[in-house]
Amino acid sequence: MIDRVDHFRWMVLARVLDERLAALYRQDHIRGGSVFSGKGQEAYSAAAALSLRRWTAEKPGDYFAPLIRDSAGRLAFGEPIIDAVRTYCGKRTGPMRCRDGNVHRGNLSQGQLPMISHLGASIGVVDGLLMARRHLGTLGDSVGIASVGDGAMQAGAAHEGINVAAVERLPLILLVADNQVSYSTFSDRSYACRSLIDRAVGYGLGAHTCDGTDFDACRITVETAVAAARAGRGPQMVLATLLRLAGHGEHDDNSYIGPELRARFGDCLPLAEARLTGEGIATAAFWETAKQQVAEAVTQALAESGPDVASEDWTARSQRNLTEFRA
């Protein structure tokens, strides 16, 4: 069982980091592109990551394929804070070595997949990771989470990837965050079914839903879905309903989200905090610690070097010269 205070602490850390990254964007410290915030989705994303087994030096754990809004999940699954800052600020010390940036980062030796931009593309890759484990006899009760939004769910690649998981009965958890909007397009122009969870039946997935603004509900629901996948009950779909609380990226003022929509959805963080405080749990220290951790990471990262253009290795294959290559 995930510790709920621990859950809350990761949410706080992600919120503090995202806000600091947004500030770095305004201060022109970001190299290339924008900053993509997970604001409003911390409870759901962290719950997912905390349901997974982390990788250690001795033992591989589960797989997590995060997407744009998963800053909380990335952190909670083991991404060092500084890796996010390095990637956003264009430091050669970052996991992508300046070759890719912002949310397109990951670390396979920590089980976090570095997403490509193309939405829906990572689901089939998680299928392949799990199929290979089964093939190699290392699957055990490990699982993989593929995260998608309501927009990504409409991509053909998502459909193919989900269907393969179902046909192969893989321990995949499809983590869907319906945050009402994909970039600026509202759900009524993205899909026409009553709820995206209806698709679970169509594909043959286990179905789980939760209020994405309620951190307790997120945790219990995702844990249940992950446990079902671990127990061999095949792929599971989780759908959280919530609202994106930032622009698509920091370049976007989010003005198209009207007051009615804002009124319908709360913010998972103050909601969780109120609940914990009501139970007599002090939360102020979590914010202080998070701010300090993020400040330290930012100070260190900003002092580090950008790419070494002169010594960049412009080779896209691991095998440079194949004229002599034989099995």
Ligand X SMILES: Cc1ncc(C[n+]2csc(CCOP(=O)(O)OP(=O)(O)O)c2C)c(N)n1
For residue 116, what are the CA distances in angstroms to 65, 86, 151, 215, 303? 10, 18, 15, 28, 28
Span near other proteins by CB under 8 A; candidates 21-29, 95-103, 218-226, 240-248:
95-103
Span near ligand X by CB under 6 A; candidates 144-152, 232-240, 270-278, 299-307:
144-152
Residue 311 near other proteins by CB under 8 A: no
Candidate residues 118, 251, 262, 264; the one interacting with other proteins per rule CB under 8 A: 118
Candidate residues 69, 74, 133, 199; the one interacting with ligand X per rule CB under 6 A: 69
Residue 119 near ligand X by CB under 6 A: yes
Residue 38 interacts, among other proteins, ligand X, none and using kind-specific CB cut-offs from 5 to 8 Å, with none
Query: Least distance in Å: CB of 213 to other proteins?
Result: 32
Residue 130 near other proteins by CB under 8 A: yes
Candidate residues 33, 80, 114, 206; the one interacting with other proteins per rule CB under 8 A: 114
Looking at beta carbons only, is 100 or 150 nearer to ligand X?
Answer: 150
Which x/- pattern over 265-294 shows residues binding other proteins (rule: CB under 8 A)?
Answer: ------------------------------
Looking at beta carbons only, is 23 or 201 nearer to other proteins?
Answer: 201
Residue 316 near other proteins by CB under 8 A: yes
- Which positions lie near ligand X, rule CB under 6 A? 68-69, 117-119, 149-152, 155, 179, 181-183, 244, 248
